[in-house]
Amino acid sequence: MANLIKPREPAKEIFFNDLIVSKTDLTGRITYANDVFCKAAGYSETELLGRQHSIIRHPDMPRAVFKYLWDTILDGREVFAYVKNLARSGDYYWVFAHVTASRDVNRKTVGFHSNRRVPDPCVVRDVIAPLYTELLREEHSHRNGKDALAASYQTLINFIAAKKVSYDELIFSL
The enclosing domain of 32 has a CATH number of: 3.30.450.20
Beta-sheet pairing, 79-86 with 92-103: antiparallel
**Domain contains 14:** no
- Answer whether residue 169 is part of any domain: no
- The number of distinct structural domains making up the chain is 1
* Residue 13, in any domain of the structure: no
Residue 5 inside a domain? The answer is: no
- pTM (predicted TM-score): 0.91
Cβ-proximal residues to 83 (8 Å cutoff; 6+ apart), any chain: 58, 61, 65, 94, 95, 97, 116
| pLDDT digit string (tens) for the chain, length 174 residues | 455 665 667 899 999 999 999 999 999 999 999 999 999 999 999 999 999 999 999 999 999 999 999 999 999 999 999 999 999 999 999 999 999 999 999 999 999 999 999 999 999 999 999 999 999 999 999 999 999 999 999 999 999 999 999 999 999 999
pLDDT in the model for residue 68: 97
**Residue 153 falls within a domain, yes or no?**
yes
User: Residue 92 is part of which domain span?
Assistant: 20-163
Judge whether 117 lies within some domain. Answer: yes
Cα 75 to Cα 71: distance, rounded to the nearest angstrom: 6
